[in-house]
Amino acid sequence: MLGVIGKKIGMSIILKEKGISIPVTIIEVLPNRIVQIKTNKKDGYNAIQLYNGTGKLKKKKVETVKEFRISKQEFKTIGVNNGKDEITVSSFKIDEVVKVSGVSKGKGYQGTIKRWKFKSQNKSHGNSLAHRIAGSTGQCQNPGRVFKGKKMAGRMGTDKKTVKNLKIIKINLELNLIIIKGACPGFTGSKVLIKKIMKKKNEVKN
């Protein structure tokens, strides 16, 4: 489905009637330049590659180029066949359902309680130093080792995350902003991908 590369500006709230507040994520979507078009006849599938950087495209900046698979109908919708070479926020609509992908915020080295939601040990009955340790991780005799994949302390965050079924509640064409209901992955200033998805009305988060 059609998508764009954006930059997470941050989170805020929108006040509605009767004092109801809605948490929102503000994403800036500068015009995405189309740098390559792939077709089913030539490449085996239909897709476009978008560039979100400034200036000329360089090989060193390939991280700013993303590929989105689209249908023949979407080619006509975005105007590729009409000579247009940019995708803007105007390609999205209010109340449209999207999914947002990004790299989660890094938390550094964390223990098992924060990283995996482990329960802390007793703070009494002779336990004076081991309140937040992981506890037993292996066996004494057989097999006498720690199994691979054991949940232990380590790096937390900086993982690729995708949140689906998010609704667009506001679009600012002048400032190139898309305002999405709820929280989106990524830290302030990070790159995020916004993709359209098709969902039934009863499956959409209101």
Q: Say yes or no to pLDDT of 59 above 70.
A: no
Instruction: Map tokens 């500068």 to a residue.
Output: 30
Q: Say yes or no to pLDDT of 201 above 70.
A: no
The residue that leads in pLDDT, 59 or 193, is 193
CATH superfamily of 3-121+152-196: Translation factors (2.40.30.10)
174, amino acid identity: E
- What pLDDT is recorded for position 63? 59
Q: Where are the domains of the chain?
A: 3-121+152-196
Q: Say yes or no to pLDDT of 167 above 80.
A: yes
DSSP designation for 17:
G
Q: Is the dihedral of CA 180, 182, 183, 189 positive or negative?
A: positive
- What pLDDT is recorded for position 15? 92
Mean pLDDT over 136-162 rounds to 90
Say which range, 12-16, 34-38, 108-112, has the weakest mean pLDDT: 34-38
Q: Is the dihedral of CA 114, 116, 119, 120 positive or negative?
A: negative
Using CA atoms, how far apart are residues 89 and 29, in angstroms rounded to an integer? 6
Q: What is the pLDDT of residues 64-121, one digit of tens each?
A: 789 998 877 776 666 554 445 888 899 899 999 999 999 999 999 999 999 999 999 9
Helix locations, the chain, DSSP H: 40-43, 72-78, 112-116
- DSSP string spanning 50-68? EE-SSSS--GGGGGGEEEE
Look up the pTM and report it.
0.80
- What pLDDT is recorded for position 58? 64
Q: How big is the CA angle at 163 (ends 155 and 158), to the nearest 5 degrees?
A: 20
- What pLDDT is recorded for position 114? 96
Contact call for residues 51 and 59 (beta carbons, < 8 A) = no
Mean pLDDT over 145-172 rounds to 94
- What pLDDT is recorded for position 82? 46
Residue closest to 49 by CA, chosen among 60, 30, 62? 62
